[in-house]
Amino acid sequence: MTTTTISNIRILSGAANCLIASLLLAGCGGKGGGTARKTTIQVKGSDTMVNVAQAWAEEYKKVSPGVAIEVSGGGSGVGIAALTKGTIDIATSSRNMKPEEIETAKKNTGKEPKEFIIGYDALGIYVHKDNPLTEITAEQIAQIYMEGGKVTKWSDIGVTIPGGAGDEIVRVSRQSSSGTYEFFREHILNKKDFKLGSRDMNGSKEVVDLVASTPTAIGYSGMGYNEPGKVKMLKVASKPGQPAVEPSVANTLDKSYPIARSLQVYSLGEPTGELKKYLEWSMSDAGQKILEACGYVPLPAAARTK
C-alpha cells in the first residue's frame, strides 16, 4: 500500500520535473507581448552598460517624474533579440547589430532599428592584484584565449604568481550572449573561437569578482568595473615592441588604447515623444556626466546634444 503511494509520488514528481524543465523551455521560446506604454520606457541589453543605464534611469526620475524607466541586463544579444521581437523600447549594446538582426527586426516589427552612440568604453584586461604582470600584448592575450593558442601557463609568458598559487592560467570569459564576448572575439581573437574550458560568467562584475578571488586568473571586462586594490588592469600593446597603453579616458578618445569600443543604444524606428527626450537627455552634458561617473568614456563635446 505504502510502496504504491510512494512510487506514485515519485512518478508524479518525475513528471513534474519534466514539466518544469519543459515549461522553462516553452516559456523562454514564447514571444512576450508587452508593448510600449505611455510612460514606461523599457531598456534591456548589455551587461557592460547596465550600470550606467540604471544610473540614468534613477537620475531621469528627477528630470521627468512622469516617465518610468525599467532597466534589465542579460547581455547585448539578449537586448537585441528582445528589440527584434518588439518587446522593448531600447536595446543597449556593446556591439553593433548584425545585418541579419536588422532584417529580423524589420520583418517582425516593420521598423528599422536606429543606432545612437552614447559613449565609449575601454575593455580592461584584469588580473589579480598580486600578479606581477603590468603589461601584455594583444598577441599574448589571443594566445591565452584562442582555440589552439599556445599559452596555458603563466610561466609561458614569463610570469611567476607569488604565494605558490599554481601556474595554470584560469581564463575568465563571458557567456556567448555578451556583447563584450563578441567584441573580444572579433578584435582580439580575430573571429577565431575561444579555447574551451574558460569560466563563462554571466555579468561584467562577476568577471572582476572572480579575478579578484583567484590569483591565477585573467579576465576581460569594461573598464567601469575596475576595483583598485582587488584587481589590476593591464596596459595593452597592440603589437610586440610598441609601447603598452593604459586604459584611460584620454587614451580611449585618441584611440591609442587598442581595445576600445563604442557603446550604443538601438530604438525601433525614429524615436518620438518621451523616448526621444530621454535619449537626447542621455547624450546631453547632464547624461554624459553620469556616464563618466560610472567609469565609461563620455562623448566628445561636439557629439553631445544641447
Partner 1 sequence: MALPSLTGKSLRPARPLWAVCGEKMLELLIRFCGVSAIIFVLAIFFFVFKEAAPVLWSKNFNLTQFLCSPEWYPTSVSNVRYGVLALIVGTACVSGLAVFLAVPFSLGAAVFISEFCGPKLKEVLKIVIELLAAIPSVVWGFIGLTVTSKIVQQMTGAPVGVNILNGGIILALMCVPIIASISEDALKAVPDTYREAALALGATRWQIVYRVLLPAAKNGLLAAVLLGVGRAVGETMAVLMATGHAVNIPHGILDSVRTLTANIAAELGEAPAQSEHYRILFLTGILLFFITFVINVTADFVVRGIRQK
Q: Report how far residue 26's alpha carbon sits from residue 139's, in angstroms, rounded to the nearest whole number.
A: 43
Minimum distance between the CB of residue 18 and partner 1, rounded to whole angstroms? 6
- If binding is defined by CB under 8 A, does position 210 make contact with partner 1? yes
- If binding is defined by CB under 8 A, does position 70 make contact with partner 1? no
Handedness of CA 142, 230, 293, 113 (dihedral sign): positive
- If binding is defined by CB under 8 A, does position 28 make contact with partner 1? yes
Q: Report how far residue 236's alpha carbon sits from residue 151's, in angstroms, rounded to the nearest whole number.
A: 17
First-last CA distance in the chain: 79
The three three-digit cell numbers of residue 283, written as one number: 547624450
Minimum distance between the CB of residue 14 and partner 1, rounded to whole angstroms? 4
- If binding is defined by CB under 8 A, does position 188 make contact with partner 1? no
Q: Report how far residue 265's alpha carbon sits from residue 288's, in angstroms, rounded to the nearest whole number.
A: 14
Residues sharing a CB contact under 8 Å with residue 137, sequence separation 6 or more, in sequence order? 236, 237, 238, 239, 240, 244
- If binding is defined by CB under 8 A, does position 35 make contact with partner 1? no
- If binding is defined by CB under 8 A, does position 74 make contact with partner 1? yes
Measured in residues, the chain has a length of: 306
Q: Which is nearer to partner 1, 166 or 300 (CB)?
A: 166
- If binding is defined by CB under 8 A, does position 155 make contact with partner 1? no
Minimum distance between the CB of residue 48 and partner 1, rounded to whole angstroms? 15
Among 55, 64, 85, 256, binds partner 1 (CB under 8 A): 85
- If binding is defined by CB under 8 A, does position 22 make contact with partner 1? yes
> How far, in Å, are 27, 84, 271 from residue 268 at the CA level?
24, 8, 7
| Piece in contact with partner 1 (CB under 8 A), picked from 55-63, 115-123, 135-143, 169-177 | 169-177
- Site residue total, partner 1 (CB under 8 A): 60
Q: Identify the burial level of 277 via C-beta atoms within 10 angstroms of its C-beta, where 0-12 means exposed, 13-18 middle and 19 or more buried.
A: middle
Binding residues vs partner 1 (CB under 8 A):
1-3, 6-7, 9-15, 17-26, 28-29, 31, 74-75, 77-78, 81, 84-85, 101, 104, 165-166, 168, 170, 175-177, 182, 185-186, 191-193, 196-202, 210, 213-217
